[in-house]
Amino acid sequence: MKLPAYLIALSLAFSLQAEDLHPAADAAGFVPMFNGKDLTGWKTTGNWLVEADGSVALHPREGETGWQRWSAYLATEKKYQDFVLDLEFKFEPTGNSGVFMRIGDLGEPVKTGFEVQILDTYGLEKPGHHDCGGIVRCIGPTKNMVKPAGEWNRYTITVKGRQVKVVFNGEQVIDVNLDDSEMKSRPSEGFIAFQDEAKRVSYRNVRIKELK
């Protein structure tokens, strides 16, 4: 069945509006967080590798399990305060990772930072704070936007003052004040890190725009 022209135009408008929630590839002020060659500017004891396509992937070593191996997280050497973080990620079935921000102590990332969850919760009807797109121990996403395992997803995370907004695959799913949650004690400046959950995960096109 052929759609009327006005419905096609309306559909395109919604699509463009969704895309506009993510910054354009040439958006001013953004700088890449990886150089595509090595992990300069980052530190980890985990087996994070730069792939041939420039993406960064975790290849868990034999015998590695769990998420409480703090030094295995891939963390920035620099601290950040207010910023827009734009990135893509993908995982394998049952995949699990997370984007940590404003970590005050890299030895205690869960207690001194906050995490936007990455988890294979595709198809879940009512996602909560611990599901993909949620801020763990804070708030769940308004909508489940995660794609099936093996496909690339995109986060644009804006952290300004105590306010955090998350755009997930073209949909704003989080808009929260940290002071209105269990995260009220978290610092206003800290490290950014990707969680090593001993499960394969990849990141690409990671860039940041610091806000003043």
Q: What is the pLDDT of residues 11-66, one digit of tens each?
A: 444 443 445 799 999 999 999 999 999 999 999 999 999 999 999 999 999 999 99
Q: How confident is the model at residue 212 (pLDDT cuts 50, 70, 90)?
A: confident
Residue 187's pLDDT is 97
Q: What is the pLDDT of residues 132-186, one digit of tens each?
A: 999 999 999 999 999 999 999 999 999 999 999 999 999 999 999 999 999 999 9
For position 170, what pLDDT does the model report? Answer: 97
Q: What residues make up the domain containing 151? A: 5-210
* 172-181 contacts, C-beta under 8 A, 24 or more apart: 172/21, 172/142, 173/133, 173/141, 173/142, 173/143, 173/145, 174/116, 174/133, 174/134, 174/135, 174/139, 174/141, 174/142, 176/135, 176/138, 176/139, 178/114, 178/138, 181/135, 181/137, 181/138, 181/139
Provide mean pLDDT across the span 183-212: 97
Model pLDDT, residue 9: 46
Number of domains in the chain: 1
Cβ–Cβ < 8 Å for 23, 30: yes
- CATH number of the domain residue 152 falls in: 2.60.120.560
pTM summary value: 0.90
* Residue range 92-121: mean pLDDT, rounded: 98
